[in-house]
């Protein structure tokens, strides 16, 4: 049997639009693997703290790219991930 929230996620995909189920998918993802759990957790925390979905998602993408490089799995991901992470990082530096 899978994660208890997986039943909720599977059931809710038939009742709610994609925007709602995407956030549930993040909650039901693999929280036992830190390189996936940490960016997901940071995304969930940053969105309400900054009142911006775009900021939370970009922060999560940057942290995922950094963790992929730090754990030595950088070549497994598409180069576009790192390009977006650098562009979002430049955006944060420009705004600050």
Please tell me the predicted confidence (pLDDT) of residue 70.
93
Please tell me the predicted confidence (pLDDT) of residue 29.
61
Which of 54, 60, 57, 25 shows the shortest CA–CA distance to 68?
60
**pLDDT tens, residue by residue, 6-49:** 555 555 455 555 544 555 555 666 678 888 889 988 998 999 99
Whole-structure pTM value: 0.70
For residue 1, pLDDT beyond 50: no
Query: What is the rounded distance in angstroms from the CA atom of residue 52 to the CA atom of residue 55?
Result: 5
**pLDDT tens, residue by residue, 52-89:** 999 999 999 999 999 999 999 889 889 999 999 999 99
Query: What is the rounded distance in angstroms from the CA atom of residue 9 to the CA atom of residue 69?
Result: 30
């Amino acid at each position: 049997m899978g994660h208890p929230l997986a039943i909720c996620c599977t059931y809710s995909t038939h009742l709610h639009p994609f925007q709602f189920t995407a956030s549930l998918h993040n909650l039901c993802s693999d929280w036992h693997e830190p390189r996936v759990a940490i960016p997901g957790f940071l995304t969930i925390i940053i969105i309400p703290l900054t009142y911006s979905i775009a900021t939370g998602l970009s922060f999560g993408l940057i942290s995922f790219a950094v963790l992929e490089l730090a754990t030595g799995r950088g070549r497994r991901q598409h180069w576009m991930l790192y390009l977006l992470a650098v562009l979002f990082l430049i955006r944060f530096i420009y705004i600050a």
